[in-house]
Every structure is written in structure tokens, then in C-alpha cells.
A and B are shown apart, each in its own frame.
Chain A
Amino acid sequence: MGDVFRKLGSLAISGVWQLGFIARFFVLILRYSGQSFMRLHLTIRELYFSGVLSLLIILVSGLFVGLVLGLQGYEILQRYGSSEAMGTMVALSLLRELGPVVAGLLFASRAGSAVTAEIGLMKVTEQLKAMDMMAVNPIARVVAPRFWGGVVSMPLLAALFSTMGIFGGWLIGVVFIGVDDGAFWSQMRAAVDFRYDVLNGVFKSAVFGVAVALIAVFEGYDCVPTAEGVSRAITRTVVSSALAILALDFVMTSFMFRGL
């Protein structure tokens, strides 16, 4: 019996310790961000690796998600004779939920894991220690640019994902099925509100960007400096990013979209 409680206690303590460590790490990143922005090309390089190289998977998945939404939406809506509402359905589901969430999940597994692996391997080969010895702050030199690269790319990628999805829905609805083009766009415009739907979606994706980037750099920096440790850190990045995205999404949705 005592064993169970001891285990629970150690679990709780290590959980709280981890949380505090992440928070302190976050504050450190923010503190050294100014220093890392002095050499902006470091951040631009990370924007390339996290953002530009994720473009292909984001665009292709966005297109396919939109195509599927179009097909399924038409299947259901035509039963009620309102297949023109397809545009509304595709746009709202993408802008509010699917865009930020699916782009976030893809971003975590495509870019977040790469960042963790990179920083973890730097730790294994003691590059981070070497930087410290040379009076180069590894947080300003390595961690902060990767963090900001993720934070900036994420909302842009989510917007591109939603745009491609809407294009996919349009392709299925208007081009293949033959829903009226004007009705498709005008019903969409009538139902989608800029502040309520678009800005809330952008805000969501920005929050996911901070969460994924923070988890990725933290897991890399915190990993056990062995081959096995790095592989575990990468797994943890993907798993905890996915959980964080879905949990944060639920919390934000319940605050943003309460049906007024």
C-alpha cells in the first residue's frame, strides 16, 4: 500500500518539477531572445528548416483534407437539399478546428521532432558544453532561434493549410460535383466571420506554435545524452506535442465558441 503512495508521490513531484523546469526554460528563452535576434540570420535559417521544408506536407495534406471534407460534406448536405452550404461547412471546420489542429500535429511530427533531434545530438556530442566554454550562450545561439522559427512558421502554415483545404473543397464541390460557384462563395462569406472564425483560428495556431516549439526545444535540451536518450526525447516531443495540441484545442474551443 505504502509503495503505491510512494510511487504516486514521486510521480507528482517529478511532474511538478518538470513543469517548473519548462517554465523556467521558457523565461530563459524569452530573456535571451533579444540577444539571438541580434543575429537574425540564425532565426531565418530555422524558419527555412521548420517552415519552408514543412510546406510540401502541409499543402498536400491540406488539399486532401479539403477534398475529403468536400466529399463527406456533400454526401450529408445533399440529403437536406442544401449542398450549397458545402462551402460554409468546409471553411468553418477548417478555420476553426482542422486547420490549426492538423497543421499543428503535422508540424510537431515534421519540424518539432527534427529540432529535438538536432539539439539532442548537439548535447550528446557536447557541442552545447563547448559553446558554454567559449562563452557563447547556447540558449541564445541554439535554442531561441529554433523556438522563434517554430512560433513564426506555425500560424502561417495553418493559414496555408486552411487555404488549401478550402481550395480542395471548392475543387470537389464546384468543379467535380457542380455546386453553383457563386452560391458556394457567397454562402461561405455570409457565414464566416473575420474576427470570430479567422482570428480565433490564427490565435489557436499561434498558441500551438508556442507549445510545440517549446516542447521540442525543451525535450532536446533536457534529453539524456545517449543515443537511446535522444530517440526517447524525440518520441516524447511528438507524443506530448500531440497531447498538448489536442488538450489546448479543447480548452480554447470551449472559451471561444460557446454558441453565444
Chain B
Amino acid sequence: MSRTTLDLWVGVFVAMGIAALLFLALKVASISGSDIRSPYTLSARFDNIGGLKVRAPVKSAGVLVGRVTEIRYDNEHFQAEVVFSVDGRYKFPTDTFANILTSGLLGEQYLGLDPGGEEKALAPGDVIKKTQSAVVLEKLISQFMFNKAADGEQAPAK
């Protein structure tokens, strides 16, 4: 085989390989870094984070606005401290409420931000004070059972 045809085939092969990589990068995958532009970090303390994980989405009104970057245990307050980065285009008021929510019944957990009515916006590095922990199914069920039991005690007295 002559050298030019060989070069041509190798060129076609390499181009196909690169095209496949581009397809995987652009069509199949989403680049996690690119949809969050010039991020700033905020943090929030929770009594219980449930199954929240690093890289979990941060959403406000259902729209992705950031990602959880770090989760650590705060030994002073005996709480979980969740650090997350938020897209620089979005500002949230200082009385924003942070909840840990679940997408779907058994879906992944994410951090939901409910903005309040305050004029001042949260600055980078701020800590969100108002938080609501993840719903733990066991607690919910035990509460339900407790209420049922209490109802049961009242019923015969009637």
C-alpha cells in the first residue's frame, strides 16, 4: 500500500475517533462545570442531611443553580455543614430558606433554595441560617404509628 493511501486511512481513523469523543462529550454527557458560571460558595447547617451527596444539585424553583461541593460534620454545633457553589448570575436574599428535598419518591436528594423577601443578597461565604433537614422515612413512619396509637387509646374512651 502506498504511503498516501495509508496516511489517508489513518487520517480517517483518527478523525472518526475524535468525532466519537466529541459526540460523547457534547451529545451524551453534560459538562458539570460549564453550566455553573463564575460560582460563589455558600454554606448551610442541617440537623440531618439524609442521603445528600457531594455533587448533588442545588435547585431553586426547580432550576439548577449550583452544586454541593463539600459536606462535613461540624463538631461545635453537632450539625452537618453543607458547602455548595452557586452560579454567579444568581443572587439570593439573606433570608433564603434551604431545604433538603427528594426528586420523585425514590429519586436523588438535592438542596432546594426558597428565596425570602429580604432586600440584601447573600454574599460569598455566607451561612444560610434557616434550614430544614431531610425527611427521614423511619421518623415519619414512627410518628405516624405514634399518632395512630394515640388515636387508638382515645377511641375506646368515647
Contact = CB atoms under 8 A, between A and B. Distances in A.
Contacts of B7: 41, 44
Interface in A37-66: 41, 44-45, 47-48, 51-52, 55
Interface residues of A, number: 33
A193 B55 CA distance: 11
Interface string A7-48: 000000000000000000000000000000000010011011
A95 interface: yes
Interface stretch (A106-114, A126-134, A155-163, A239-247): A155-163
Contacts of B18: 156
Contacts of B29: 95, 189, 192-194, 197-198
A41 B16 CA distance: 20
B14 interface: yes
B20 A41 contact: no
Contact of B30 (A41, A153, A193, A202): A193
B27 A194 contact: no
A156 B9 contact: no
A139 interface: no
**For chain A, what secondary structure do more than half of its interface residues adopt (helix, strand, loop), or is it mixed?**
helix
Interface in B1-40: 1, 3, 6-7, 9-10, 12-14, 16-18, 20-21, 23-25, 27-33
A166 interface: yes
Contacts, number: 87
B9 A52 contact: yes
B30 A160 contact: no
B136 interface: no
B54 interface: yes
A43 B25 CA distance: 28
A251 interface: no
Contacts of B33: 195
A91 interface: yes
Given A48-B9, A52-B9, A260-B53, A162 B20 contact: yes
B14 A156 contact: yes
A1 interface: no
A260 B109 CA distance: 14
Contacts of B32: 193-196
Interface of A: 41, 44-45, 47-48, 51-52, 55, 91, 95, 153, 155-157, 159-160, 162-163, 166, 185, 188-190, 192-198, 202, 259-260
Given A44-B7, A48-B10, A163-B23, 8 more contacts: A41-B3, A155-B17, A156-B13, A156-B17, A156-B21, A160-B20, A192-B29, A195-B33
Closest 6 interchain pairs by CB?
A156-B17, A159-B20, A194-B29, A163-B20, A194-B31, A192-B29
